Amino acid sequence: MAQAKPVLVPDVSQRNIEIAYSFTGAELLLFGAILYPGGRLPDDTKPTDVVIVVKGPVQSILVREKEKVAGIWVNASRLRYRSAPSFYAIVSSKPIKRLVDDRTQAIYELGLDSLQLSPASNAPPAEQDRFARGLVDLKRRAGLYYEAPGAVEITDGVLYRGRVSIPARVPVGRFTAETFLIRDGRVLAAATRDIDIRKSGFERFVARSADNHAILYGLVAVAVSVLFGWAAGWIARRI
C-alpha cells in the first residue's frame, strides 16, 4: 500500500539567502510536482490539497505580561518557552480547518494555534494558553508568524506553487520548508527542503566577531563609541 501513495517532489526558488545592510526582505517561491503511482492522472472525484510550512530555527523566548499599577505599565507575570520557532509561515490551498481535524493539526503543527511551544514551567493550562496567544500575537505583528489560506495554487492536480514572504527582521540560521499532501483529512505524503539564511559582508563579520570574540568585540565597541563621542564634542566646540 505504501507504493500506491503519491510522492511529492518539492523545490524552492532560493536555497541560500544572504542578508546585507540593504536587505529589505525576500519572497520565496515554493513549487513542485505530485507524482501519482503508475504515472496515472489524479482522481478528480478525490482532489488533493497542498500545505506548505516554513519554519525558522527554534529559540528560547521569555514572554512578559505587562500590568498597569498606579497608572504605570510594569512587567508582571512571565513565562519562558524552550523551543519556539523564530519564524513560522503556513500557506495552503484551502483553510487548514477544512482539510484536517484538530488531532492531525497538532501532530504536524499545522497552524498557529497548533504550535508546540514547550513552556519551561508547570504553569496552569489557562496561563499557558494566555501566554501562547500573546507570543503568537507579538510574532504575528512583527511579521515573523503568519498564515495564508488559499495561497497555494494547484494546476491539473499535479503541479503546485505558493509564495512565502521573508521579512527584513528575519533571524539567521537553517530554515525548513515542509510540504504536505492531504486528501480526505489524511496526510498522504510529506517532503522537506532546507533553506539557509545567513549574514554576508560586513554584517557577517560583525556577527561572527560578537560570537567568537565577545570580550574583544565589547572593548572595541566601547572604544569606537568613546571615539565618536569625543569627535562629536570636538566638532561642536569648533562650530
Residues 60 and 136 in one domain: yes
Report the alpha-carbon distance of residue 210 to residue 133 in Å, rounded: 33
Residues 190 and 228 in one domain: no
Query: Per-residue pLDDT tens for 130-185?
Result: 888 989 999 999 999 999 999 999 998 899 999 999 998 888 899 999 999 999 99
Residues 79 and 18 in one domain: yes
Residues 213 and 117 in one domain: no
Residues 106 and 223 in one domain: no
Q: Which residue has the cell 519551561?
A: 120
CA-to-CA separations, 32 to 10, 100, 109, 157, in angstroms, rounded: 4, 22, 21, 11
Residues 23 and 101 in one domain: yes
Residues 162 and 230 in one domain: no
What does the pLDDT read at residue 2?
A: 46
Report the alpha-carbon distance of residue 96 to residue 49 in Å, rounded: 10
List the domain range (segments joined by +) for residue 239: 201-239
What does the pLDDT read at residue 47?
A: 83
* CATH number of the domain to which 73 belongs: 2.60.40.3880
pTM for the model = 0.78
Residues 6+ apart with CB under 8 A from 34: 6, 7, 8, 9, 42, 48, 50, 157, 158, 159, 160, 181, 189
Residues 229 and 147 in one domain: no
Are the C-beta atoms of 157 and 119 separated by less than 8 Å? no
Q: How many domains does the chain have?
A: 2
Residues 143 and 205 in one domain: no
Residues 63 and 150 in one domain: yes
* Nearest Cα residue to 48 out of 85, 83, 99, 1: 99
Counting other chains too, the contacts that 209-213 makes at CB distance below 8 Å and 24 or more residues apart are: none
Report the alpha-carbon distance of residue 93 to residue 52 in Å, rounded: 9
Are the C-beta atoms of 126 and 77 separated by less than 8 Å? no
Give, for all 239 residues of the chain, the pLDDT tens digit. Answer: 445 688 999 999 988 888 776 678 889 999 999 988 876 766 666 789 999 999 999 999 888 877 767 677 776 788 888 889 999 999 999 999 999 999 999 999 999 999 988 888 787 888 888 888 989 999 999 999 999 999 999 998 899 999 999 998 888 899 999 999 999 999 999 999 999 988 765 454 454 555 555 676 576 667 777 777 777 777 777 76
Residues 165 and 127 in one domain: yes
Residues 91 and 105 in one domain: yes
What does the pLDDT read at residue 1?
A: 43
